[in-house]
Amino acid sequence: MAPSACRTRSCPTWAASRRSIRGDARRLPLRDGSDSIGLRRNRLYERTVLPNGLRVLSSTMPHVRSVATGIFVGAGSRYEDDDIAGASHFLEHMLFKGTAKRPEPQMISRAIESVGGILNASTDREATLYYTKVARDHFDIALDVLTDMYNSPLFVPDEVERERGVILEELAMTYDHPDSLADLLIDRALWPDQPMGRDVGGTRESVGGITKEQLAAYHARQYVPSNTVVAVAGNVEHEEVVERVAALLGYDRTQETLPMRPVLPDEDSGVRVEIGNRKTDQAHICLAVDGPAANADDRYAVDMMNTVLGEGMSSRLFVELRERRGLAYDVHSSAMHYHDCGALLVSCGVDTANADKAVQAVLREQYGMQVGVTEEELSRATEYAVGRLGLRLEDTRAVMGWMGGQELLRNEVRTPEEVVASIRTITTEEVTDAARRYFGPGAYRLSVVGPYRSQARFEKLLAA
């Protein structure tokens, strides 16, 4: 049986996910020819654009024994009309259900698992990713399987109906998990009545109505070379990667793709609260404000602000809510950056009797960020961010995601060295300015899942 699919809350460069991933475990001007980018000395990455517009990126890591390969496609919930909401995620499922070369789903999974490899996929608002990680000797097999899935899905009617049922159960599972429901509700509060704010998986109604013909048409529209990036990281040379990819995906096929839907302006300047009434022992809380887009000038100032506020056990939120007050086992903040928007979130789970106290405590810490941060705090946050980035990029899959996600969605690939340099230029004044800019009165959105019905009690907290 093919492993279950994934909808993610993630941002380029393939970052944190909201949902568990399948089974284990978001454009540069196109031109013919090729170019190499980055420092040749450390072989950060090289880039080739095939004549059909397909972009191929690789990072040679000679010290590892594995190769991670990803196919990134400009397909996600932000490309979908309401009547086919969830089509990108549905299509991701179907690519595992049989191809012309491998008509049985098990033939796809076994081809990778029989050599000890990983095969997985995820769908986000702005992109869909299919990837493998295998030993170096099996790179050809991995690339063949991925490109076969990309090129030739079958859309067998019985498999479409069977997978529809699987997806409907996945949607139901999400609503049964309070923390997942809190995530969905905060998205709705941040971006109401538009693709950014709806579940990547769609709704029961939209998924129930998507036809085989619509899936095939969506695949033909979006899964074209000019809308695709192949990224490979591991013990493999760029020339070999390009040769193999060109042989499998070098065909001439052009198609006008569906555009990404822009974020609609929020006409409501007041606070907004979404309640998920559930009989739970914990209140699951998400408090959010709008944040900067991926390419915004203040992106890294906001990232450092977020690290001081709520990343790690030394953060202000962890120290205050857990260590000093004992309100929460887990409390953390996150910064999400998309193509033309972003969000800053704080998530925690607390006793249902302490929901008000927790929200008030988070608001106080965010107010404290507006007062200022110390040089010592910023120094710790900087080294935390730099260190975590370095650790993450020791893995071939992370390097693959770093390259492919940025290339597809950000029109550039910033090197780790460039990002570190940007982080190290951030000052305490910039962090404080960012806090004052984003944590303003009336800017808050809140989702709460627990035994509550009234929004008014929480609206009063946010408006105070």
Cα torsion through 30, 398, 249, 90, rounded to 10: -100
Sheet holding 55-60, edge to edge: 34-35, 46-49, 55-60, 228-234, 66-73, 128-135, 118-123
Catalytic residue among 46, 92, 377, 407: 92
Q: Is 92 a catalytic residue?
A: yes
Q: Which two tokens stand for residue 274?
A: 């979404």
In 246-390 the beta strands, taken as DSSP E runs, fall at 272-277, 282-291, 328-337, 342-351
Rg (CA), the chain: 22
SS3 35: strand
Q: Which two tokens stand for residue 198?
A: 């709806």
Contact 427, 300 (CB under 8 A): no
Rounded to whole angstroms, how far apart are CA atoms 464 and 459? 9
Q: List the Cα angle 36/241/12 in 5-degree steps.
A: 65
Contact 362, 464 (CB under 8 A): no
Active site residues: 92
